[in-house]
Each structure stands twice: as C-alpha cells, then as structure tokens.
C-alpha cells in the first residue's frame, strides 16, 4: 500500500515579492524610529540653544534677548576702576652668573684628595683638592741648595775683592787684577739672583699642588676622582664654580621701548625689575636694572638689558628661563579694566558694557599700557561702568543679560564637588542660580554647556566642577 505522504506536494520558499515587502517594512520602521528620535531631540534642544545664544527668534520673540520666555545669558562683570597704573615692560631672559670659573690643575701629578662636596657653597681661598707634592718639594730643595752654594761663592768673591782693593792702595798688585775680581763678584751676584728665582718658582709650583677656589660661589659636580693624573691641559678641569649671589639676568625688550628706559638710566634713577617663572605665575626675585647693551639687534629689533639680583634664597639658577618685568613709569589716576574684558573685532578694540537695566552695549575703546592683568583705557570708558570679563562669546548688541559678580561665582563653585542626590533643592530658581553661577567660566574655553533631559543647559567651567554642580542641581524630567 502506498504511503500517502509520498504524494503530498513539497513546501516551497516564499516568493521573492513577499521577502522584498518584508525588508521594506523593516526599513520603514527604522526610518520612523530615527525620525521620531531626531524630532524629540530637536524639540528639547532648540529652546535651550536659542536662549543661550540669543539667536533664536527676533528681539522680543521667544528665545530672543529680552523676549517673553527668553533665557538671559549669564555673564561675569567687573567694575571699571580708577587707580595708579604701573607701566611695565615685559621681556624674556636667561639667568647668567656674575662669574663662571673652571677649577683647573696648574701643575701635573696624581690627585691625592678632593676636599669639597658637590653642590656646596665655597669661598675664595678654600682648599678644594691636593696633588702629590713630593716631586715639587724635591725640586724646591734642590733650588734652595744651589742658592746657598752660589751665595757662599759670592761672599768669598767679595772678600777677595776687598783684599785686592787694599793691596791696590799699597801699590802691591796691578789694577787689572782688581778689575777681574770685580767682574767675578758681579757674575756671582747674577748667579745668586737666578738661583733665587728658581727657588721662588719651585715654591710656587709646590703651592699649586693645593688647588684653591679662585672665586666664591656654588661648586658643581666633580669632574675627576682621586687617584687620577691631572694636568694643565685637561679640558673639563676638576669642577666649575658659579657665582650665584648676586646673579644677573640678560633679557631683551623691543627697541621702541628703549627711550623710556634710557631716560631713567641717564637721570640716575633706580629701575626696579622682577623675575617670574616660565609660566609667569610665580615671582622669583626682585632686583634692579644694571645697564643696557651698546647696540640694537637688527635681526630681531630688540635691545639687550642686564639686571642684577641678590638672590639670597637661591631661586634664580644659572641658565634658567625667566619672564622679566621692568617698571619704567607710573600713570596717576588711570582708567583700568581687566585684560579679560578686552575684545577685538572688525570695529577694532572694544568691550561689552552692561548698563543699569542689564542690557549689553558694544563700546569701542582706546588702550594704553598693560601689566598683563590690567589694561589702561585712554578713551571710551568711565570709572564705575560695568564691563563683561567672562561669557562675552554669546553676547550681541542690546541683549539682556544676568550679571554675576566674580565673588558670587567663586562662592557658587564651592559646593560643586558635593555628591548629587535627592536631598538637593530641585526647584527652578535654585537650578537657574547654579547654572548662572557656573556658565561664565565656559566663555573662552568650553563653548556651550551640556544639555540635560529637561532642556536646561549648564556650561562647563575651566575645571569642570561647575558643570557637575549644574548637572546635579538641574531638575530631572519626570519619567
């Protein structure tokens, strides 16, 4: 009997059209999902971005400066001050010792002792090392013996000379014999002088076996160990002595600033200078300007200056790179603003001024001297005005901003390291204050802040701490 399963038709794969339709449905579902996610992100990002930059909507519109529902951009402001301002010339220099002396052996021989410690301070006349003195002592003894012999011969010749002169007076000998004796005495006198010079030379060579510090200062690393043969031809010598108290600094300033320096030098005034470290953060020493070079470097347009420092604490080290600040004048009752307030654009140099109604105005200014932290404004500002020193990258003419004092900003950064938790205040006012305190730090280095799930933005500060504080204080979007 035949198996009925053998007559059933075999199952065939679905037609190609069904598989193609399935792939299209999957692709459409993915596109819809991505579109929905993009729409959700754009909807919650756009209002925050518009409020931060002030570019979404026109003035008075949503997101615009001063408009209803617009978010004010927080900035750090500083008050324009009136004070005495020092005119400082900045330059780059290298620390140069007043004296650099290489201690060398002046005679050849085995080095017996090294009597100094590497890096110690030594004084001129200190014994630093000793060379074997025995060969030089023997030479001295030989010279002394020769001198004694020749002195005896000289004394004998002088006695004969006196006898011959007596006999000549008695007409007992000829004058020629007396003249010969006089020449012999003079010959012995010359020999004695030569012997005395040999003794002095031998004694000097013997003294050179004790190597003496030729100058006061800090001695460097030992270049040769005891037991080695040293000679006058050694290139490195035994050690290097560097005089560091006092110490000098050679630095350069632009040639345009030279007249102001020469004016005070020719008047006999003392020009104070300061040496700062490589990052210009720590002041190393204070000194005075000693002199200027006698010519200008035509390749760089700079002139070299030399300053002297007592360097009692030893912070200035030979060949150290330093930033130099030279005080050449003081401006009385100058209008002064922080350097961070100065902006530059197509209209030239300007600042953002915040009026009493917290509106921003672009004010073109003319600048004077600067000391690196503050700048003199010769035109465009009055004492008492408020200028933006942080957060200026988001500002435009006529914007309404929220001002933050530097002291308040520093106080707001203190709790930034506290852990985030449910116990924090989560109302809108608290989070807004935290965000306003932290935002200005992001003006130059970090740009716009992170975006949170509720659409609020918190800017990153220089250390990133305020961003963490703003993130912890921002209200969470309900799930």
pLDDT in tens, 422-432: 444 434 333 33
Residues near 267 by Cβ (< 8 Å), separated by ≥ 6? Answer: none
The model's pTM is: 0.56
User: In 106-219, which residue ranges form alpha helices assigned H by DSSP?
Assistant: 134-169, 175-207
Q: Which of 55-64, 304-313, 370-379 has the highest mean pLDDT?
A: 304-313
Q: What is the mean pLDDT of the chain?
A: 79
What are the C-alpha distances in Å from 132 to residues 108, 201, 238? 9, 17, 15
CATH classification of 333-410 is 3.30.70.3270, yes or no?
no
CB 428 within 8 Å of CB 476 = no
What is the mean predicted confidence (pLDDT) over 189-215? 95
Distance CA(440)–CA(260), nearest Å, equals: 39
Q: Can you give the pLDDT at residue 72? A: 79
Q: For 449, phi and psi rounded to 5 degrees?
A: -85, 180
Query: Which residues of the chain are in CATH 2.40.420.20 domains?
Result: 333-410
pLDDT band for position 250 (cuts 50, 70, 90): very high
**Least confidently predicted of 56-65, 190-199, 332-341:** 56-65
Q: Can you give the pLDDT at residue 415? A: 52
Q: Which helix (H) or strand (E) holds 465?
A: helix 465-473
- In the CATH hierarchy, which fold is given to the domain comprising 105-230? OB fold (Dihydrolipoamide Acetyltransferase, E2P) (2.40.50)
What are the C-alpha distances in Å from 373 to residues 20, 109, 340, 370? 70, 60, 8, 7
Q: For 201, phi and psi rounded to 5 degrees?
A: -65, -45
Angle between helices 428-438 and 465-473 in degrees, nearest 10: 170
Query: Which residues of the chain are in CATH 2.40.50.100 domains?
Result: 105-230
pLDDT tens-digit profile of 444-455?
Answer: 333 333 333 333
What are the C-alpha distances in Å from 192 to residues 145, 148, 153, 163? 11, 8, 9, 22
Quick count: other Cβ atoms within 10 Å of Cβ 273? Answer: 25
| CATH number at 243-331 | 2.40.30.170
Query: Which residues of the chain are in CATH 2.40.30.170 domains?
Result: 243-331
**Any idea how long the chain is?**
479
Q: For 290, phi and psi rounded to 5 degrees?
A: -90, -55
Sequential DSSP letters for 262-318: HHHHHTT---EEEEE-TTS-SEEEEEEEEEEEEEEETTTTEEEEEEEE--TT----T
Distance CA(176)–CA(259), nearest Å, equals: 81
Distance CA(453)–CA(467), nearest Å, equals: 15
Distance CA(24)–CA(91), nearest Å, equals: 71
Sign of CA dihedral 394, 400, 402, 406: positive
């Amino acid at each position: 009997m035949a198996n009925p399963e053998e007559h059933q038709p075999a199952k065939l794969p679905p037609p190609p059209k069904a598989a193609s339709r399935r792939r299209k449905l999957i692709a459409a579902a993915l596109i819809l999902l991505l579109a929905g996610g993009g729409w959700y992100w754009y909807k919650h990002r756009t209002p925050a971005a518009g409020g931060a930059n002030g570019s979404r909507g026109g003035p008075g519109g949503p997101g615009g400066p001063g408009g209803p529902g617009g978010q004010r951009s927080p900035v750090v402001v500083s008050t324009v001050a009136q004070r005495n301002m020092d005119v400082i010339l900045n330059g780059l220099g290298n620390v140069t010792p007043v004296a650099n002396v290489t201690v060398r052996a002046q005679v050849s021989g085995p080095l017996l002792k090294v009597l100094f410690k590497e890096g110690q301070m030594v004084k001129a006349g200190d014994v630093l090392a000793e060379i074997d003195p025995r060969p030089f002592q023997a030479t001295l003894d030989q010279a002394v013996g020769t001198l004694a012999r020749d002195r005896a011969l000289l004394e004998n010749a002088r006695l004969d000379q006196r006898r011959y002169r007596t006999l000549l007076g008695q007409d007992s000998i000829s004058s020629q014999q007396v003249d010969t004796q006089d020449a012999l005495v003079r010959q012995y006198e010359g020999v004695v002088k030569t012997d005395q010079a040999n003794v002095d030379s031998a004694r000097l060579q013997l003294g050179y076996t004790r190597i003496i510090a030729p100058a006061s200062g800090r001695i460097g690393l030992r270049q040769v160990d005891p037991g080695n043969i040293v000679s006058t031809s050694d290139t490195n010598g035994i050690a290097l002595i560097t005089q560091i108290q006092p110490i000098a600094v050679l630095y350069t300033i632009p040639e345009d600033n030279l007249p102001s320096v020469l004016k005070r030098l020719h008047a006999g005034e003392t020009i104070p200078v300061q040496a700062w470290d490589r990052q210009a953060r720590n002041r190393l020493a204070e000194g005075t300007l000693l002199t200027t070079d006698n010519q200008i470097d035509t390749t760089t347009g700079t002139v070299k200056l030399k300053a002297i420092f007592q360097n009692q604490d030893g912070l200035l080290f030979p060949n150290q790179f330093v930033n130099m600040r030279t005080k050449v004048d003081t401006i009385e009752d100058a209008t002064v603003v922080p350097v961070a307030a100065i902006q530059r654009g197509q209209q030239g140099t300007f600042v953002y001024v915040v009026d009493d109604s917290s509106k921003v105005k672009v004010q073109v200014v003319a600048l004077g001297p600067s000391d690196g932290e503050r700048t003199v404004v010769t035109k465009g500002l009055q004492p008492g005005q408020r200028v933006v020193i942080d957060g200026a990258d988001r500002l435009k003419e006529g914007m309404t901003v929220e001002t933050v004092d530097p002291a308040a900003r520093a106080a707001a950064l203190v709790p930034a390291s506290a852990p985030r938790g449910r116990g924090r205040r989560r109302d809108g006012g608290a989070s807004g204050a935290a965000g306003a305190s932290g935002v200005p730090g992001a003006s130059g280095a970090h740009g716009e802040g992170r975006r949170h799930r509720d659409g609020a933005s918190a800017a990153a500060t220089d250390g990133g701490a305020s961003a963490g504080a703003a993130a912890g204080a921002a209200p969470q979007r309900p799930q």
